Amino acid sequence: MAIAETQVYLPQAPRPRLRLLEDERWLAFVLLVPTLVLLGMFIAYPFVRGILLSVSSARVGVPGDFVGLANFYKIFNDGIFRTSAYNTFVYTGVTTVFKLALGLWLAMLLNRNFRGKAFTRAFILLPFIIPTVLSTFAWKWMFDPTFSVLNWLLYHLGLITSRINWLGDPDLAMISIIIVNIWRGVPFFAISLLAGLQTISPELNEAAAIDGAKPWQRFWHVTWPLLLPVTMVVVLFSVIQTFADFQIVYVMTGGGPANATHLFATYAYQIGIGTGILSEGAAIALAMFPILFLVVIIQLLYIRRVEVR
Amino acid sequence: MIEGAIWRKWVFFYVPMALFLLFLLFPFYWMVITSVRPDGELYRPWNSINYNPFWTWKPTLDHVRYLFEETLFASWLWNTTFIALASTAISLVCGVFAGYALSRLNFPFAGSLGTGIFITYLVPQTLLFIPLAEIIRNYRLGDTPWSLILTYPTFLIPFCTWLMMGYFKAVPKELEECARIDGASRWQAMLYIVIPVAIPGILSAGIFAFTLSWNEFIYALVFLSSPEQKTVPVGVTSELIRGDVFFWGPLMAGALLGSIPVAIAYSLFVEHYVAGLTGSVKG
């Protein structure tokens, strides 16, 4: 008997340290500690620091004093800040509409069966994979005032007679930036929506076709409603990323000409890092927060609603 | 799906598809052709006669040579690789553990912790870079690779956790219970039973995290200052432009060579990457 008992118990007599991990709560705690430490140190703490900075007069090397809401008061009366805010909304709105429309179109094209489909899909994602800064340089070179290949093309197609100074004119510069953002975002929309389309059973569309629905009606009454949950999540993700975008504007125009194409993030960089007024820079970056917060809340509510269903 | 006349197939499929591919891939073609084109051809005004911008008969490797001999491009490549690999490894370990805990264990506040991590997933880097720059300086991490290796996980861990939760939820509870009946501890059951089943998810999260950290720009721009510490995106931006003068040949060669490692990694794991991408939005 005694021998049998040792045989059963000996191999699994755990060391005390591991016995603690048999408790679900302790194991969960141990598993979550590294994540919580990193996120606490580099997200939660900076967030608090950011709020404190924005109500101080800190500069690089100068801790500064508490000044209340003076920084916010100052930036809301700053013409460049207002332009940046306006630009950010236009940039986010216009690009999102185009990215959704083109992405959906591309997803529908990719959802057919054709030769080289996997290959095409892999290539289509390239703009999304390649580091944004590096591909944006290719665009900047294509929009170069003197050597622009786009001007060459338009000239030889007979559409223009003199050069277009793409990045020298405020409106054209904004349009150029919007084009680059659409270029970068369409693959993400297309591939995500394609995944959504593939979960829709073709039988539904066939049934509608038998009942006499035209292609457009089939899209509007069958495909679109079923795709809506994926579309919502993709759009909200993209809105957050676009609203807080930095790289494309930083490389293409640096906020110029004459501060006409700044977004929140690039203006915050210029003030906070460029001129070293940390407090005002932090205030400009935090000005994005209410909108981002709103989008996150919508997204959380939406995901919860979908899960409940 | 497509029936009817052949012209319909052209109008509704081939032509739009070709235009999409042209739009999406032309910048890369332009990158390639610029990086092998001699300077004499590069800087010709757009309206000069007999000028074909789309092809060159005199390809040269001068720009690539310039990049490796006159700049620190090789160090930038090494820095970026090291930082991307290290931050991906940290994020995978944290993400797998956290994902396991949140999807398979019962403990107080599990739900709100999950929501909290999801919210950090949505925090853009541009919201916090100014206070973070100050914190990095206070921790004396400024201008070292560690400033990035420790901060990149803040946007990689939430993504990895979110993705892994999906994979772990799909592993049947019975599998783990069987192992526990056979005498495995909770820790062993997780390490040897559940995690191996979720390896496709780990690969997806890993390749996605690697491309994201290769892509990151603003933290690297703000935290690194000396040329030999920089990553490829920052080095190309700050060291290949002198004032207002753009060296387009080396710039495009740098953009091309800086994209190749991540493109190779991507091409090896396309399916996993796509699974990660779509998993990240479906949740």
Per the rule left: phi > 0, alpha: psi between -120 and 50, beta: everything else, A259 is: left
Q: Is B109 left (phi over 0), alpha (psi -120 to 50) or beta?
A: left
Band of the pLDDT at A6, cuts 50, 70, 90?
Answer: very low
**Residue where the block lists tokens 């890369």:** B28
Element (H, E) at B182: none
Which pLDDT does position A284 carry in this prediction? 95
Q: What confidence tier does B210 reach under pLDDT thresholds 50, 70, 90?
A: very high
Reading the block at residue A45, the tokens are: 């703490």
> What token pair was written down for B117?
């991590």
The answer on pLDDT for A2 being more than 50 is no
Question: What confidence score (pLDDT) does residue A136 get?
Answer: 95
Tell me: the pLDDT tens digits for B40-93?
777 776 666 666 777 777 788 888 898 898 889 999 999 999 999 999 999 999
Q: How far is B38 from chain A (nearest CA, A)?
A: 14
Beta partners for residue B241, in sequence order: B246
Please give the pLDDT value at position A233: 87
Is the pLDDT reported for residue A14 higher than 70? no
What single-letter DSSP state applies at residue B123? -
pLDDT of B280 reads 66
Q: What are phi and psi of B241, to 5 degrees?
A: -125, 120
Q: Which residues contact A306 (CB under 8 A, 6 or more apart)?
A: A229
Q: What is the mean pLDDT of chain A?
A: 88
Peptide bond into A257 cis (omega under 30): yes
Q: Which residue has the higher pLDDT, B75 or B1?
A: B75
pLDDT at B277: 81
Contact A138 B255 (CB under 8 A): yes
Say yes or no to pLDDT of A56 above 50: yes
Q: Taking a C-beta distance cutoff of 8 angstroms, is the pair A246, A74 a contact? A: no
Instruction: For the beta carbon of residue A68, count every other beta carbon within 10 angstroms.
Output: 9
Residue B270 and residue A12: Cβ atoms within 8 Å? no
Pick A124's closest partner by Cβ from B24, B234, B248.
B24
Distance CA A172, CA A170 (A): 6
Are the C-beta atoms of A204 and A239 separated by less than 8 Å? no
Instruction: Output the pTM of the full model.
Output: 0.91
Lowest-pLDDT range of A158-167, A223-232, A233-242: A158-167
The C-alpha of A7 sits at a distance from chain B's nearest C-alpha, in angstroms, of 12
| Chain A residues with beta carbon closer than 8 angstroms to that of B218 | 246-247, 265, 269
B238 touches chain A (CB under 8 A): no
Q: Mean of the pLDDT values across residues B240-246?
A: 77
Residue A120: closest C-alpha in chain B: B21
pLDDT tops 80 at residue A192: yes
Q: Phi/psi of residue A305, each to 5°?
A: -60, -40
Q: Which of B53, B153, B236 sits opposite A152 (nearest CB)?
A: B53
Between B199 and B60, whose confidence is greater?
Answer: B199
Distance CA A187, CA A121 (A): 9
Residue B281 near residue A234 (C-beta atoms within 8 A): yes
B275 pLDDT band, cuts 50/70/90, is confident
Asked if B8 has any chain A CB less than 8 Å from its own CB, the reply is: no
The band of B17, judged by pLDDT with boundaries at 50, 70 and 90, is: very high
- Amino acid B97 reads F
**Spatial separation of the C-alpha atoms in residues A72 and A292, rounded to whole Å:** 18
Q: Which residue has the higher pLDDT, A303 or B143?
A: B143
**Encoding tokens for residue A211?**
């009942």
Using CA atoms, how far apart are residues B84 and B216, in angstroms rounded to an integer? 9
The pLDDT value recorded for residue B219 is: 95
| CA gap A175, A178 in Å, rounded | 5
Query: What confidence tens digit (pLDDT) does each residue in A261-288 have?
Result: 999 999 999 999 999 899 999 999 999 9
Nearest of A203, A69, A204, A185 to residue A132 by alpha carbon: A185
Q: What is the mean pLDDT of chain B?
A: 88
Binning pLDDT at 50, 70 and 90, where does residue B283 land?
A: very low
